[in-house]
Amino acid sequence: MNNEWRNRWREGRIGFHRDAVHPALERYWPTLAVASDSKVLVPLCGKSLDMRWLAERGHPVLGIELAEEAVAQFVAEGSGEVSRYRHGVFEVCRQGHVELWCGDFFHFHIDQALEVEAFYDRAALIALPEATRQRYAFHLAQLLPPGARGLLISLTRQDGPDKGPPFSVAADEVERLFSPNFELARQAVLPPDERGFAEEVWTLVRRGPERDAPAGE
Ligand SMILES: C[S@@+](CC[C@H](N)C(=O)[O-])C[C@H]1O[C@@H](n2cnc3c(N)ncnc32)[C@H](O)[C@@H]1O
């Protein structure tokens, strides 16, 4: 699957990329009331302009993306000096408030996510086949501290759950995947596009760990 994504980028088959900021990000991100200096994790980020929107609002952004082409195109299409360094298995490329970590999201570890306090997923969960979605939801939860907030834009498709990417992820699956570790609420179901793909917008808050009652209570 990873090579399939790299090939898509090499061949320019990136129909998922949007030329404008996602309206649901503009509409629903402010409702999360994430402090503007909180770092936002953007898993499977592509070269999404949504990262610039978040950065313009003051958030340091940490995107993770497999394909070198996506990272190269993001910085080439942006402005400002670019610095590069290596962090473990990741090549990191930084431009302004956005750091892009080139590598596999599943190799990104909690010690690299220490300052992350929020996340944004548009077309990340739904880029993954069913078995990997379970792993994704668990891995994401491990990277986030209690109280971390996030926006998830998932998708269902009318031609059935077996085709993809994008994969059709029904609301009951989103609930099943995330509810063990997050409070979540579906905010909107957007009208289907001409392909019959309908996006759904969710807000999530990472639950805290169970705490023992203080001694004597
Ligand atoms: C459907 S695209 C969405 C990109 C972006 N979120 C957007 O809204 O434009 C999914 C992206 O995830 C990347 N990807 C897939 N599997 C990945 C993984 N395991 N780790 C990091 N990136 C991955 C792909 O290369 C692709 O750019």
Best substitution site from 16, 44, 169 to test ligand 1's pocket, by max atoms within 8 Å of Cβ? 44
Q: Is the ipTM of this complex over 0.95?
A: yes
- Tell me the mean pLDDT in the region 204-215: 69
The pLDDT tens digits of the residues spanning 107-126 come to 999 988 889 999 999 999 99
Please tell me if the CB atom of residue 71 comes closer than 6 angstroms to any atom of ligand 1. Answer: no
**Residue 114 pLDDT:** 87
Which regions of the chain does DSSP assign to beta strands (E)? 39-43, 61-65, 82-87, 90-95, 98-102, 116-122, 149-157, 182-189, 197-206
**Residue 211 pLDDT:** 44
Please tell me if the CB atom of residue 126 comes closer than 6 angstroms to any atom of ligand 1. Answer: no
Expressed in angstroms and rounded, the spacing between residue 44 Cα and the centre of ligand 1 is 3
Of ligand 1's atoms, which has the minimum distance to the CA of residue 132?
19
2-206 classified as CATH 3.40.50.360? no
**Residue 164 pLDDT:** 87
Closest residue CA from atom 3 of ligand 1:
123
Please tell me if the CB atom of residue 46 comes closer than 6 angstroms to any atom of ligand 1. Answer: yes
Closest residue CA from atom 24 of ligand 1:
5
The pLDDT tens digits of the residues spanning 165-191 come to 999 999 999 999 999 999 999 999 999
**Residue 196 pLDDT:** 93
- Tell me the mean pLDDT in the region 149-170: 91
The pLDDT tens digits of the residues spanning 82-109 come to 999 999 999 999 999 999 999 999 999 9
Name which of 22, 54, 48, 16 is nearest 190 in CA terms: 22
Expressed in angstroms and rounded, the spacing between residue 127 Cα and the centre of ligand 1 is 7
**Residue 113 pLDDT:** 87
**For the chain, which residues make up each domain, given as ranges?**
2-206
**Residue 157 pLDDT:** 95
**Residue 209 pLDDT:** 67
Is residue 217's pLDDT more than 50? Answer: no
Q: pTM here?
A: 0.95
Helical ranges in the chain per DSSP H = 2-11, 23-32, 50-56, 68-77, 130-143, 171-178
Expressed in angstroms and rounded, the spacing between residue 175 Cα and the centre of ligand 1 is 22
**Residue 123 pLDDT:** 98
Is residue 148's pLDDT more than 60? Answer: yes
Instruction: Please report which confidence band the pLDDT of residue 1 belongs to, taking 50, 70 and 90 as the band edges.
Output: confident
Contact, 151 vs 29, CB < 8 A?
yes
Q: Which residues are known binding-site members? A: 9, 44, 65, 122
Is residue 161's pLDDT more than 60? Answer: yes
The pLDDT tens digits of the residues spanning 13-68 come to 999 999 999 999 999 999 999 999 999 999 999 999 999 999 999 999 999 999 99
